Amino acid sequence: MIQFPKLFEPGRIGQMEVKNRIVLPPMSTNFCLNEGYISQRLIDYYEERARGGVGLLITEGMAVEARGRRRFLELSLAAPSAGHAL
């Protein structure tokens, strides 16, 4: 008997449907590169969680522009992503 049967059922957030109700909340990984670039380690991190069955991945916080970065290994939307996209 499954204790939380709704957990593995699809859910909706507005018009978006997710395959289950398991959510990865935003957590700082410090897996980006020094200038805020997306690293292969960060891509691998999110891919592995998706493979593990998480229904919704919320990426970690990121600075909108370079001067808004609060810490050294924080993602930045201002940094070129070298062709990578999450």
Q: Where are the domains of the chain?
A: 21-86
Residue 42: per-residue pLDDT: 94
Distance CA 64, CA 60 (A): 13
CA atoms within 13 A of residue 26's CA, in its CB half-sphere: 7
Whole-number Å distance between alpha carbons of 35 and 6: 41
Q: Averaged over 71-80, what is the pLDDT?
A: 76
Q: Is the pLDDT reported for residue 86 higher than 50?
A: no
Looking at residues 13-26, what average pLDDT do you find?
A: 94
Output the pTM of the full model.
0.76
pLDDT of 65 strictly over 80: no
Question: What pLDDT is attached to residue 79?
Answer: 58
Q: Using the predicted structure, report yes or no on whether residue 20 has a pLDDT greater than 90.
A: yes
Mean pLDDT in residue range 37-66: 91
